[in-house]
Amino acid sequence: MAGRMLGLIVVKADGAREEYIHTKVVGTIANALSTAGQADISVAEELAEAVTFFLYRTGEHRDISSNEIFSIIKTVLAATSHEEEAAALCEHHFQRKLRRCRIEVVENSANGLEEAGDFYTDNDRQVRNRWDKSRIVEDLVAGKGLPRQTARAIASMVEERVFNMGISLVPAGLLKQLVLSDSVAVMRAQQQLRHTTPGNI
């Protein structure tokens, strides 16, 4: 079943719609298990099978929200004696939401050292927007014509890099460079994958 799309439509928190992909559930469960030192992909695959089976049986003819899927994953973990991992998954989810609330994108950029201090102070010249990963997705889809799945992957990579920087104010120029860098990396990887598929060897 790995990698198989079942025709289920997932409604994301930002309202975007995409096909359900089983391997995403495998990855989420594998990450939860790794927090307790149980990085066993075979266990993650078995638990993901249970999640996907349940979703397929109950959601075959309707849309499913990403929150519903998250709740089912937690339930499966808790019901299979993985309460610690379920709690870690909730904590991870909460911390990511908290980080997003604390990050702002600043449109104004400093042109020299004498203006650098202004970047960290509130003033009329600054335009600040709350961090919103979906804006990156929409820009890549509408502006660059990328498939939504690819755009979401790029946006997730950019978000992870911003999180790892530990900054709360992100210059718009830096954000554009991160999006460009990760877009190039993803498209290069896709191109290499196409060249190494059995039909192209």
Q: How far is the C-alpha of 112 from the C-alpha of 118, rounded, in Å? A: 11
Closest CA to 9 of 52, 18, 151: 18
CA triplet 87, 59, 17: central angle to 5 degrees? 80
- How does pLDDT run across 118-139, given as a tens digit for each residue? 555 665 567 889 999 999 999 9
Closest CA to 182 of 137, 143, 122: 137
**pLDDT level of residue 13 (50, 70, 90 thresholds):** confident
- How does pLDDT run across 37-95, given as a tens digit for each residue? 777 789 999 999 999 998 888 766 678 899 999 999 999 999 999 999 999 899 989 99
Q: Quick check: 115 pLDDT over 70? A: no
Alpha helices in the chain (DSSP H): 22-34, 41-59, 66-79, 83-102, 113-116, 133-138, 144, 148-165, 172-195
Q: How far is the C-alpha of 165 from the C-alpha of 182, rounded, in Å? A: 15
Query: How many CB atoms within 10 Å of residue 81?
Result: 8
For residue 6, give both structure tokens. Answer: 């079942």
Q: Measured between alpha carbons, how far is residue 64 from residues 12, 72, 152 in Å?
A: 9, 11, 18
**How much is the average pLDDT of 146-175?**
93
For residue 155, give both structure tokens. Answer: 């946006």
pLDDT value at residue 1: 45
Q: Is 121 left (phi over 0), alpha (psi -120 to 50) or beta?
A: beta
Residue for token pair 């019901």: 79
**pLDDT level of residue 17 (50, 70, 90 thresholds):** confident
